[in-house]
Amino acid sequence: MSVGRVTEITAESPTSFEDAIKVGIARATSTLRGVQSAWIQEQQVSIQDDGSIRGYRVTMKIVFMLEG
């Protein structure tokens, strides 16, 4: 029998939503063992004063399996 845990993280990139997802997954897999999947809960953009996009932010849930 296996037991999983879900944790929520937020990641940001100046490039794209896809890059923000990759940044978040890379960080999660560097600190958590047994990462199995992720789902994107929310996407946001931050806007500069001139109206251009400053950054792309995603909030995601990461599923990882507990050891032992």
The pTM for the full model equals 0.86
Biggest CA–CA distance in the chain, Å, is: 54
What are φ and ψ of residue 51, in 5° steps? Answer: 90, -5
| pLDDT for 68 | 73
Give the whole-angstrom CA distance, residue 39 versus residue 62. 7
Task: List the chain pLDDT tens, one digit each, 68 residues.
Answer: 788 999 999 999 999 999 999 999 999 999 999 999 999 999 999 999 999 999 999 999 999 999 87
| pLDDT for 22 | 97
H or E element in which residue 45 lies: strand 35-47
3-state secondary structure at position 66: coil
Q: Identify the architecture of domain 4-65 in CATH.
A: 2-Layer Sandwich (3.30)
